[in-house]
Amino acid sequence: MSSSIFESSKEVFVDVVNHKDYVQLDRVSTIYQSLKYSIKKPLKMILLFGKPGTGKSMFLTKLYNDISSTQPVYLYQTPILDESEFYKTLAQDIYGTKYMGELNFTQFMKIVENNSLDSIPIVLLDEAQLYSDVLMEKIRLLSDTRTIKFVITLHKTEKEDLIAKEHFQTRIWETIELENSSLAELKIYIQKKLMKANCFDTANMFTNKTVQKIYKFTNGNYRDTNKLLYTLFEIYTIYEKDHKLSSIGTSQISTKIIEMAAIHTGLVDA
């Protein structure tokens, strides 16, 4: 086994949102197709929600990259918390109108009315739970005019679930829930990710038993799995450098290393 294998495998699991890293799993793929289909519907708003690390941001990024060539779509991964700044940004990006000074909802609506577009622009808002209730209400009013279509993502926590209910459930639209992967999906996810980066040797090291162990720590959460596997391959790299690989073996991922990675990433209390 070459010395670069563990290094390159480690890079595969760097936790960044990149549409190229999107791994096509059956269930995820179905959800994604339904999201794409919903975009075409005359819906005002689409709500994408799920626990942190279930791939909401990845979904938005993937959607943005897939449809940006065919229709106007704007992705805002970082929330714009100031209301005026929010309107100004939309006015500039969608309608190309630069507005100096404060811009309120009424003024923004005038800009929208004065600039008619061929197709309805789609605005993708990530981490929407960070927006204020007031701003969320304005976004709802804006979507009611059917001049802008919004796709927003929300963390699904107890509190945020309440927000989702209050703001959206009575008025909607479309809700898509994202969940953690199953055990089988997790194995496919890991192996597909590694194979995409040509790391076939390390992909083969993930047996059912090792994936089961990983699943035990991460509960199928993609973000936690990425963190764990990044640390795992980092440990493997160090062992390799210290010529200690023989002690843990390379035929399959060592349980000891999985546990060490879980301890280091804080997934397990030791």
Listed ranges 44-52, 98-106, 124-132, 234-242: which one lies at the site for another protein (CB under 8 A): 234-242
Longest CA span, the chain: 71
Q: Which of 83, 127, 185, 234 binds another protein (CB under 8 A)?
A: 234
Residue type, 31: I
Listed ranges 70-78, 91-99, 151-159, 228-236: which one lies at the site for another protein (CB under 8 A): 228-236
Q: Which of 1, 14, 141, 238 binds another protein (CB under 8 A)?
A: 238
CB atoms within 10 A of CB 232: 27
The rounded distance, in Å, linking the Cα atoms of 183 and 211 is 7
Q: Which of 50, 239, 240, 267 binds another protein (CB under 8 A)?
A: 239
In this structure, which long-range contacts are made by residues 129-138, counting pairs with CB atoms below 8 Å and at least 24 apart in sequence? 129/154, 129/155, 129/160, 129/163, 130/79, 130/81, 131/79, 131/81, 132/81, 132/83, 133/163, 133/167, 134/83, 135/81, 135/83, 135/86, 136/163, 136/167, 137/167, 138/83, 138/105
The rounded distance, in Å, linking the Cα atoms of 163 and 2 is 51
Nearer to another protein, 4 or 34 (CB): 4
Site for another protein in 249-268 (CB under 8 A): 256, 259-260, 263-264, 268
Site for another protein in 155-184 (CB under 8 A): none
In 3D space, the residue among 82, 68, 146 whose CA is nearest the CA of residue 112 turns out to be: 146
The rounded distance, in Å, linking the Cα atoms of 43 and 139 is 14
Q: Does 210 bind another protein (CB under 8 A)?
A: no
Q: Does 51 bind another protein (CB under 8 A)?
A: no
Q: Does 242 bind another protein (CB under 8 A)?
A: yes
Nearer to another protein, 168 or 236 (CB): 236
Q: Does 270 bind another protein (CB under 8 A)?
A: yes
- Minimum distance from residue 123 beta carbon to another protein (Å): 42
Q: Does 226 bind another protein (CB under 8 A)?
A: no
| Site size for another protein (CB under 8 A) | 13
In 3D space, the residue among 70, 75, 62, 81 whose CA is nearest the CA of residue 17 turns out to be: 62
Listed ranges 117-125, 167-175, 182-190, 235-243: which one lies at the site for another protein (CB under 8 A): 235-243
In 3D space, the residue among 223, 225, 221 whose CA is nearest the CA of residue 181 turns out to be: 221
- Minimum distance from residue 172 beta carbon to another protein (Å): 46
Question: Given the rule CB under 8 A, which residues bind another protein?
Answer: 231, 234-235, 238-239, 242, 256, 259-260, 263-264, 268, 270
